Amino acid sequence: MHRFFFREVPEYFPFLLQGAWITLVLSLVSMACGLALGLAVALGRLSPYRAVRWPLDAYVELWRDTPLIVQLLFIYFTLPEFGLTLPAFWAGVAGLSLNLAAYLSEVFRAAIAAIDPGQRQAALSLGMSRVAIYRRVVLPQMFRATLPTVGGYFIALLKDCSLVSFISVNELLRHANIVIADTFDSMNTYIMVGFIYFVMSFGSARLIGLLERRLTPRHQRHGAAMLPGPKGAAA
């Protein structure tokens, strides 16, 4: 115990934090790419044209039905055979965001479908363009409705980042393995690694919770007492 706190932590913790920093950057970049791609795929899959829908359907199925680690290994080790070589970090971003987008596109698609079509008709009947309807009516409601789920995916992503240690990205788990190779002390190292993952995930969850609260009107917030309705209110 004494050895753990007074020798190992001061010696290896900063090195592990460097890895954690890479994990965090990798997660944020992959999340941004995954969100953009997931939204594009969701919108594409709502297209009336089969030629647009079909390849996107195939993509979503293919990516959801194969393991992430296989996708990462494929991108890093197999794509170079076809002439596409990505640096480890960007191979990680590509693998994580393609995987995430496949799942998020389904989340977004369901949320868009759940918005009352009457609101779109009302917007159309005011003379709004399709782009304006998405920007002003559909997407804001979609983002608010999906925020808790998307937040959950971000936390999962933070931890899935550990898989990119297999393709030699110097993130948290890889740094941990380097430490273990040096000290043969896997137990104490993994305790530190677990602690760092927990702090990052817990912090993210709290931030997402705050964001969700900010975006929800006061009376709809969880635990808020329903405001007294107007006299004779039906709803």
Partner 1 sequence: MTGAVPEPVLVARGLRKRYGAVEVLAGVDLAVASGEVACLIGPSGGGKSTLLRCLNVLERPSGGSISVFGEALCRDDGTGVRVAPERTLRRARSRMPMVFQHFNLFSHRTVLQNVMEGPVTVLGLDREAAIDRARRLLRDVGMADREDHYPDQISGGQKQRVAIARAMAMAPSVILFDEPTSALDPQLVKGILAIINDLARQEITMLIVTHEMKFARDVADRVHFCDGGRIVESGCPDDIFQRPRTARLADFVRSIHE
Least distance to partner 1, CB of residue 110, Å = 17
Least distance to partner 1, CB of residue 33, Å = 27
What is the spatial distance between Cα 190 and Cα 183, in angstroms, rounded to a whole number? 12
User: Which ranges constitute the DSSP H helices of the chain?
Assistant: 2-3, 9-45, 50-64, 68-73, 88-114, 117-125, 130-133, 139-160, 172-183, 186-215
* Residue 153 contacts residue 173 (beta carbons within 8 Å): no
Least distance to partner 1, CB of residue 212, Å = 14
What one-character DSSP code corresponds to residue 115?
Answer: S
What is the spatial distance between Cα 190 and Cα 192, in angstroms, rounded to a whole number? 5
Question: Is residue 51 close enough to count as binding partner 1 by CB under 8 A?
Answer: no
Block residue for tokens 């969850």: 205
Least distance to partner 1, CB of residue 149, Å = 17
Which 115-144 positions form the footprint of partner 1 (CB under 8 A)?
Answer: 116, 118-119, 121-130, 132, 136-137, 140-141, 144
Question: Is residue 48 close enough to count as binding partner 1 by CB under 8 A?
Answer: no
What is the spatial distance between Cα 179 and Cα 4, in angstroms, rounded to a whole number? 13
Question: Is residue 223 close enough to count as binding partner 1 by CB under 8 A?
Answer: no
Question: Is residue 232 close enough to count as binding partner 1 by CB under 8 A?
Answer: yes
Q: Which is nearer to partner 1, 83 or 118 (CB)?
A: 118
Question: Residue 231 — φ and ψ, nearest 5°?
Answer: -60, 130
Q: Which is nearer to partner 1, 3 or 130 (CB)?
A: 130
Which 144-183 positions form the footprint of partner 1 (CB under 8 A)?
Answer: 144
**Contact string 57-96 vs partner 1 (x = CB under 8 A):** ----------------------------------------
Furthest-apart CA atoms within the chain: distance in Å? 73
Of 14, 48, 223, 229, the residue at the interface with partner 1 (CB under 8 A) is: 229
Question: Is residue 233 close enough to count as binding partner 1 by CB under 8 A?
Answer: yes
| C-alpha dist (Å) from residue 35 to 62, 82, 235 | 18, 27, 35
Within 10 Å of residue 169's Cβ, how many Cβ atoms?
Answer: 26
Number of residues that bind partner 1 (CB under 8 A): 29
Q: Which residues in this chain contact partner 1 in the complex, by CB under 8 A?
A: 116, 118-119, 121-130, 132, 136-137, 140-141, 144, 217, 219-220, 227, 229-230, 232-235
